[in-house]
Amino acid sequence: MGHDGMNHPRPTLWAVADLHAAVRANRLRLDEISPRHPDDWLLVAGDVAERLDLISTVLSELRSRFAQVIWVPGNHELFSRSTDAHRGRAKYDALVQICRSIDVLTPEDTFPVFGDTTVVPLFTLYDYSFRPAGTGVEEALELAAQKNVVMTDEIAIAPFADIRAWCWDRLAYSITRLSRVNGPTVLVNHWPLVQEPTLRMVLPELALWCGSRHTRTWPQRYNAKAVVYGHLHMPAIFELDGVEHHEVSLGYPREWGRSDQNRIWPCPVLELVADPNGGQIAQRVGFEQCRESHPELRMPRRRGKGSDGV
């Protein structure tokens, strides 16, 4: 990223997701993720890659560029084969240790503070509760299977971990930690915290693997200035109950189209400004301000109603 169009950059909290760095074309785009200010931070909202070594390499590269990098896992980081040394919860534990060895923060670490705002990395998984009213989990999964809609998670995660039980453990763990946070927050999760964005998916059955209804109140309850997520490969910014939700995924090359003047990537979420008392506060980066400050950054357009590239 160059400095054209921004004469006085402020420290900024940037966000990306769904880098899928095992794909060659995606790997080449990592050079676009670079700071404008020496105090810029980067949020990486999951799906960096599948292999531990590649995840480590990518996060190490990003950490060398930014003052701070905060990572949360997506489903692809958890993909395993029966022959892998680390599977299920053990693979997540291994990922946390890798991140700590390269000075990248995770959902298991002390929450960092950007200006006056606590950045909260989350790992919630999903519990199949984004499903049609009146249907149970097994019924909803069967209906999806009848339409040939089955996520890779069912063969690459589910055999090695009880996903619903793991999700509920993570929800309880996250609530305990969130209850100790005072002041404004940014909530970062791979899966959306609310169901609304999944209602735009071309294949609505995929919503089963996209989150939990139990996180819906978190943005208001925990004083979020913004929510950052990925997973859907449907980049957008929308506001719900006064909170901005940023879907910041890169996605796959087949989902990229001609440049969209209304979309920029990486996504600037907050920037630091001086407060009257001599400190710094983190303010939201308004959409029009975003376009004026970063005219050269463009997000690939997603074709059609939705990508469903989860």
CA nearest to 58, candidates 78, 77, 40: 77
3-state DSSP assignment of residue 118: strand
Output b/e per residue, 112-135; b: 16+ Cβ within 10 A: eebbbbbbbbbbbbbbbbbbeeee
Helix (H) or strand (E) holding 52: helix 52-65
Q: Which residue has the higher pLDDT, 6 or 226?
A: 226
Q: Which residue has the higher pLDDT, 286 or 169?
A: 169
Q: 265: how many CB neighbours lie within 10 A of its CB?
A: 22
Give the end-to-end CA distance of the chain in Å, rounded to a whole number: 27
228 vs 8: CA distance, rounded Å: 25
Residue 257 pLDDT > 50:
yes
User: Which pTM value belongs to this model?
Assistant: 0.91
pLDDT confidence band for 309 (50 / 70 / 90): low
Residue 121 pLDDT > 90:
yes
In eight-state DSSP terms, residue 254 is G
308 found inside a domain: no
Please tell me the predicted confidence (pLDDT) of residue 300.
Answer: 38
What sign does the dihedral 42-271-190-93 (CA atoms) show? positive
- Number of structural domains (the chain) is 1
Which CATH number goes with the domain that contains 145? 3.60.21.10
Q: How many residues does the chain have?
A: 310
289 found inside a domain: yes
Please tell me the predicted confidence (pLDDT) of residue 9.
Answer: 86
Please tell me the predicted confidence (pLDDT) of residue 8.
Answer: 56
Mean pLDDT, the chain, whole residue set: 91
What residues contact residue 294 under an 8 Å CB cut-off, 6+ apart?
1, 5, 6, 264, 268
Residue 112 pLDDT > 80:
yes
6 found inside a domain: no
pLDDT confidence band for 305 (50 / 70 / 90): very low
176 found inside a domain: yes
Please tell me the predicted confidence (pLDDT) of residue 308.
Answer: 57
254 found inside a domain: yes
pLDDT confidence band for 277 (50 / 70 / 90): confident
What is the residue range of 226's domain?
Answer: 12-300
The tokens of 126 are what? 């999903």
| Residues 190 and 73 sit within 8 Å (Cβ to Cβ) | yes
Question: Stretch 234-246: mean pLDDT, rounded?
Answer: 96
Question: Can you give the C-alpha Rg of the chain in angstroms?
Answer: 19
Please tell me the predicted confidence (pLDDT) of residue 5.
Answer: 35
222 found inside a domain: yes
pLDDT in tens, 189-208: 999 999 999 999 999 999 99
3 found inside a domain: no
In eight-state DSSP terms, residue 86 is S
pLDDT in tens, 159-173: 999 999 999 999 999
310 found inside a domain: no
Establish whether the linkage from the previous residue to 121 is cis, with ω within 30° of 0.
Answer: no
The tokens of 279 are what? 């400190």
One-letter identity of residue 260: D
